[in-house]
Each structure stands twice: as structure tokens, then as C-alpha cells.
Amino acid sequence: MAVCWSILVAASLTWNIWRSEHTAMEGVYLQARVAFEKDILYRRWNSMHGGVYASINSSTQPNPYLKTQDRTIKTPNGKSLTKINPSYMTRQVHELQAKETGIKGHITSLKPLRPANTPDEWEKKALIKFEKGIQEFCEVRSMQGEEFLRAMWPIRTEKSCLNCHAKQGYRLGDIRGGISVSIPLDPILNTLHKTQLAIILTHSLLWLVVMVGLILVSRKLNRQIAARIKAYKDRQEAIQASMKAKKDAKELKGLLPICAKCKKIRDDQGYWNRLEEYISEHSAAEFSHGLCPKCAQELYPDILTEGKMKKDKEKD
């Protein structure tokens, strides 16, 4: 029972630890997926409006890769504005996201217009897989000494994208690139380790409580079994002692040499013994001496005659 209980607890512990890891990683994956889908939505919103304008400042400068005549405009009061296209908007959101949450985003392509959008080796592998029909690529990877869940999905060419990318040979529906999302795992793993520690402690406590109960029950049963074994042994010893006593009991068997006149019996050593002595020695019988009527008449005739006459007078 102890072995079965230990196996059951170990199996439950293993399954719960695996389940906690799976749930945690599934949550990270969903977080990355939501981040990508939001990127696609606000990019589409930007494209629907043909780009949006923002004030020029130190963090928002005119995009040198946006070749349009209205890239920079001025308001009636003389304020300079620059056009923010979907890619520029995505890049700025990714920079803000990395600063605020630690989640890294990167828009990339095998034929980037902006050199900073060149894919790294992992992103390049993902983009090649997208060309072969794979719809997503996800792995746990190390970046700058820290563990990240890296996930990437393809970006397909939409009608609004052709304004800038048709000259690159893209057609409607083509895979134009992808967006990678990298989520740091250290905070998630720290929480996961605390959860797993709680699972281990709970299972250990449950295992210990049941094992103590099993030990107590086992000791009680062992005492009962020991008592029964002792009683059985005592009974067997009594039976054996009885059998031995019966075996050791003196019995007279076989042919006994006896004198025809004096009735002495010859023993195994050749000595002649009185009948009562021989029987007393070789059996459990004891003798009480007396006289039969015939011998009494021979030995004590006077006493017997007087006794008989006395009895006859009493009858009369």
C-alpha cells in the first residue's frame, strides 16, 4: 500500500508540475499572439487612413524610407508635421512596448526597405518557413543572456501596402514579411517556480500524512499478527509436547518371556524380574497387592473358616 500510494502521489505530482508549465507557456503564447494581432489591427487602421500625421520632435523624425511628396507638411499656424505610415507606427509602438513591458517586437522582411528591419538568424529561418506555408513559428530562445519565448507570424500584402511595396514585386496576398514578438520568461518562470513549490509541498504533506497513517495501521496489524503467530506456535508446541508425551509413554508390547512356575519375566538384559516390578518399570501402571480366594484359602484357611462360620450364625 505504501508503494502504491507513493507511485500515485509521484504520478500526480509529475502531472501537476507538467500541467503548470504547460499552462504558463500557453499563457505566454497567447500574450504574444494578442500582441501580434493588435499590431495587425492598428497597422490596418493606419493604412485605411492613408497614414497619420504627428508633430516632428526628437523621437519622431521624418521617415527617410517613405518616398511621398506629402511626407512633411505644415499646419496653418506653421507647425511641422510628418507622416507616420504603418511600418513607422509599428516600430514606435514596439519601442514603447519594450520600454514599458519588456516585450520586444520587430517588423522584418527578407527584402526590407529599412536596413534595421533586416531579420536575425532566427527570424530569417521563420520567414523561410512562411514561404513554405507555415503559418507561425514559436520557440524558447536565449537573447542577451535571458530566456524569451519568441513567436513570429507572417504579414500578407494588402491593397494599401502596394502603394509603397508594389515596386518590390509584391502582389496582393503575398507574404511580405513578418512580425516577431519576444516575451521575457524570467518573471513568468519565477511565478511558475513558486506555484510548483506549493504543488510539491502540498503533495509531500499529503504523502506524509497518509504514510504516517499507514505506518500506525501497519504496526497495529503487525502486533495482531505477532499475537496470532505466538498463539499458533504455542498451540503447536503444546500439540507437539502432547504427541511427544504419548510417544514417550511406556507401553508393553510383543512377546514376554515368563516363568511357568514363579511367573517372573525376563528383561532384555536376560535378568528375571518379578512380574509387578517389570510391569511397573515398563508401563504407567501401579500395583496394589491383594489375595484371590484360592490363594487366601491356601494361606489363611483358619481365618477364612472362622469368618465363614460367623457369617452363617449371623444369617441364622
Residues 171, 26 contacting (CB under 8 angstroms):
no
Question: What are the Cα distances from residue 245, in Å, to 234, 236, 240, 249?
Answer: 16, 14, 8, 6
Of 119, 134, 155, 128, the C-alpha closest to 43 is 155
86-101 helix and 2-48 helix, angle to the nearest 10 degrees: 140
d(CA 152, CA 140): 12
> What phi and psi, each to the nearest 5 degrees, are found at residue 149?
-90, 115
d(CA 253, CA 232): 35
Domain ranges of the chain: 265-315
Q: Given the C-alpha cell 538568424, which residue does it identify?
A: 121
Residues 203, 16 contacting (CB under 8 angstroms):
yes
Which residues of the chain, if any, have pLDDT below 70? 159-170, 245-254, 282-285, 287, 291, 296, 303-316
- Segment 251-300, tens digit of pLDDT: 556 677 877 777 777 777 777 877 777 777 766 667 677 767 777 677 77
Give the pLDDT confidence score for residue 169 in this predicted structure: 66
Give the pLDDT confidence score for residue 254 in this predicted structure: 64
By three-state DSSP, how is residue 2 classified?
helix
Residues 279, 252 contacting (CB under 8 angstroms):
yes
Classify the C-alpha dihedral 207-213-214-216 as positive or negative: positive
The set of cell numbers assigned to 72 is 512633411
Strand partners, 148: 141, 184
d(CA 100, CA 250): 108
Contacts 24+ apart (CB under 8 A), 110-118: 110/177, 111/168, 112/177, 113/65, 113/87, 113/164, 113/165, 113/168, 114/65, 114/87, 117/87, 117/177
- Segment 241-250, tens digit of pLDDT: 877 766 655 5
E-strand stretches of 65-160: 72-74, 80-84, 104-108, 137-143, 146-156
Element (H, E) at 261: none
d(CA 93, CA 31): 16
The set of cell numbers assigned to 47 is 493604412
